Chains A and B, each alone.
Chain A
Amino acid sequence: MKIRMTLIVSLFLSLVFANVILAQQSYNYEEMTQEQYNALLAEWQKRLDTAKKGIAEEEAKIEQLKKEYDALQAQIDQTWQEIYKLADQSKEQYDTYKSGLSQLRDDARAFLNLSPEEIYSKSNEIDSLQAKLNKFKENPFSATAENQALINEIQSLIDQAKEKAKTAVPPTYTVVKGDYLWKIAGKDDIYGNPHAWWRIYTSNLDQIKNPDLIYPKQVLAIPRAVGPNEHLVQKGEFLSKIAGYPNVYGDSFKWQKLYEANKSFITDPNMIYPYQVLKIAR
């Protein structure tokens, strides 16, 4: 039984082996005529020769390209040497310059990610970034296209940070010696418009009795939004017009009510001014 099994397995393996050997021979040589053989051999020989010729041509082209590449690299290196000479600096100094610029860009990006209030409170850091960038601009290396692009990007980030800081809401302002309402209202980070002094005055009636008299260390509220029971006077408005607004009284005849509520700073009901904040008595 065992012998029979061994015989069957051996026969199977022999068949498989024979098939593999036969498969390696791609042609049926048993059926092949001499002419067919010669034609096949000639065809493969021709393909081999063509491929060899092609390889030789490609290798020659590659060799030529490599030489061209090396020559170009040499020219580039030479030009860089000339640039260093023109700038009167070394390659190491150029590398330091570039890494410094990259670092400054990262710093400016990180700074821009802060909230407007944080940027506002660190205004001196914006100035410091700008000073550093100006220093980089003075270096002749700043004239290369790559560095110029980097410098422009950093300048844009700093400008954006400056703009963002403007949107910050400084809730209060502490009066210093020499301040007056007109001057405070005109500051860029307050209202940027001296005429808005009325807004500071009418929002701080509890501590400003006379708008011409404010004192150092007084802490003034600088409101940015108009409250629900307030109205910020715009150019061209008058009391009866404001009283007629649906969100005020919806009735222009109630202007007197408005006047009564704001009598402390409205001396003549026919004379109101832009930026005054009127209380709307309910």
Chain B
Amino acid sequence: MKQLLALAVFAALPASALANAVVGQPAPAFTEKDLSGKTVSLADYKGKVVVVEWNNPNCPFVEKHYTKSGNLPALQKKYGQDVVWLAVNSTNPSHQDYMSNEKLSGYMKANNAAPAAYLVDADGSMGRAYGAKTTPHMYVIDRDGKLLYNGAIDDKRGTNPDEIKTAKNYVVSALGELKDGKPVSTPTSAPYGCSVKY
């Protein structure tokens, strides 16, 4: 009996409550408030390409692409005309990485960041629906609301900003291929970074 039970208890229960946004399928719908309190839904952007970026300014991997290089703010500006760039923060308010809307606004401004909206997903619902695991974790959604890319920002998995110069940026290449009407060559990759602080 005991052995049978021991066998039955095969794992602890921290099981995943994360869904996973799957490339080729419709991107999970969401409705979140942005830093100014405005409500933003995926449905608002039908007909537009949407880039979703998971963000937490206290994460060294995010710092690599913000304070240390200006990489992500530059991309947000560069693609600002063509795509809707959404930054999302799913940090739990009880976590020490949590920042008030005011502080987040200040951070974005200080880094010349210009996403179309910065969504505050304090309950983690959007993050769980997308299966966002790390900061940064990047998603690209096509005009029909279908997911085109899910994964890392680039192929240099580290915190050293010098790596950005030689890195292959998966989001940039997906957007380029989309523009040229080609299929996305790397539709998924393993995201890297700090864990999302659910």
Tell me if chain B binds chain A. Answer: no
